[in-house]
Structure 1
């Protein structure tokens, strides 16, 4: 191992994914987890030193994050974490509900028995994760549950549309799991909703599955808007 890699514990692997992709994921995950707070500056020099990559790689990653609406680049200031607004949250949840209802319908139509078993396994892991009370683990398994639905809906255009919202959706999800003023009962309600959703999917009950998507997304939106309003002083 080189001296550089010994010094930089976050130095990324040249033999794995492209450097830009690894840098993008590293920065994105810090934003989603809240390590970089809304409005905080993203310091290129610190990232270059932490990851052991060039300025070009970091700037390419930042441009990608800007297209995902996680970062804004201000003249004479540089990149900052994009501040989340209540209006934007409402718009994202509105689109998310529509896309997820379509994904659920297509999953019911197209998914094989093997895909349904994968969904059940993901749901069981999600149930177990709530006992550990770890936001990172809960978010990992909740994301995996929905990713199974998206993948086996077998519609590439739908998948692309959902992926375009993924980073922002994860950011809201992380906020709901980690905010100091979060509703302590929210995750239990979410688990109950996803349990009903899981059963409705296996029973091929489209109407029931889509109605529970509406309920879950509305509850998630209400919680996020409440937290955003608390942070911005809106009553």
Structure 2
């Protein structure tokens, strides 16, 4: 599973010293850590939609080659986080309401399947992992820190995906994860966000956790539908505020 890492091991330049990198001088680790760094910046909103990605700045900041940066940009383009425009270069991809609608629709379907498989395959070990993760998620939702909430939500669902026991399903969900994180960040940081949204989310996820403990697949999948629909409605509402466009998706 691909996971965000905020502790990427990069050492920035010191005064009067040449810029170096802590990461092993090996092509794959260099590329992987540079990818995590830039993806994290995009998902957290440090790079706004439409913002240019300047190769030279990344090369200087990370201490890697232009080749590595361009490979990372190609990977992020595949993940639909970046678009490369002729004579302009790479920019952060601007998200549309129709994409958000489609992503949440697919996400609900895949998450319901993952939860069903997790319940069927659960063991004392996997339930213990889920319990520990849920307690951390509860704490993060009560504290209200966007970064912490996203991190703990991801951990909670990663356990479900991992122990669902289906690698193909896990891979499909992972493909949507990068884009979903951007929506979550928007929903948690937007100045016009619904202040009661996180309370509803905590209630939904608490009910989901209890349904999993009870091995109630019907109840668990219903809760997934409720939570994803609520998240979808909130994101579409915020996009409408930002764009002023109503293309029939906003209800």
* Aligned 8 A contact 1:151 1:159 in 2: yes
Shift of 1:12: 5.3
Partner of 2:229 in structure 1? Answer: 218
- Say how many residue pairs are matched: 233
Which residues in structure 2 correspond to 1:72-111 (within 5 Å)?
72-111=83-122
Shift of 1:130: 2.3
DSSP-derived class of the 2:14 partner: helix
* Aligned 8 A contact 2:19 2:60 in 1: no
DSSP-derived class of the 1:80 partner: strand
Q: 1:26 to 1:234 in 2, by over 3 A?
A: same
For structure 2, the residue ranges without an aligned partner over 5 or more in a row are 1-10, 247-251
Partner of 1:58 in structure 2? Answer: 69
RMSD across aligned positions (CA): 1.8
DSSP-derived class of the 1:72 partner: strand
Instruction: Name the TM-score, length of structure 2 as normaliser.
Output: 0.89
* Aligned 8 A contact 1:11 1:50 in 2: no
Which residues in structure 2 correspond to 1:178-197 (within 5 Å)?
178-197=189-208
Q: 2:216 and 2:189 mapped to 1: Cα distance?
A: 33
Runs of 4+ residues deviating >4 angstroms: 7-12
DSSP-derived class of the 1:73 partner: strand
Q: 1:37 to 1:11 in 2, by over 3 A?
A: farther
Q: 1:201 and 1:60 mapped to 2: Cα distance?
A: 41
DSSP-derived class of the 2:46 partner: coil
For residue 40 of structure 1, the aligned residue among 51, 60, 70 is: 51
Instruction: Name the TM-score, length of structure 1 as normaliser.
Output: 0.95
Q: Which moved more, 1:212-221 or 1:130-139?
A: 130-139
Q: 2:217 and 2:14 mapped to 1: Cα distance?
A: 53
Shift of 1:111: 1.8
Shift of 1:133: 2.1
Q: 1:161 to 1:58 in 2, by over 3 A?
A: same
Partner of 1:229 in structure 2? Answer: 240
| Structure with more helix by fraction | 1
Q: CA offsets, 1:164-191, max 9 Å, x none?
A: 1110011111111111111111011001
* Aligned 8 A contact 1:12 1:51 in 2: no
Which residues in structure 2 correspond to 1:137-148 (within 5 Å)?
137-148=148-159
DSSP-derived class of the 2:24 partner: coil
Partner of 2:60 in structure 1? Answer: 49
Q: 1:9 and 1:111 mapped to 2: Cα distance?
A: 48
Q: 1:15 to 1:153 in 2, by over 3 A?
A: farther
For structure 1, the residue ranges without an aligned partner over 5 or more in a row are none
Shift of 1:4: 6.6
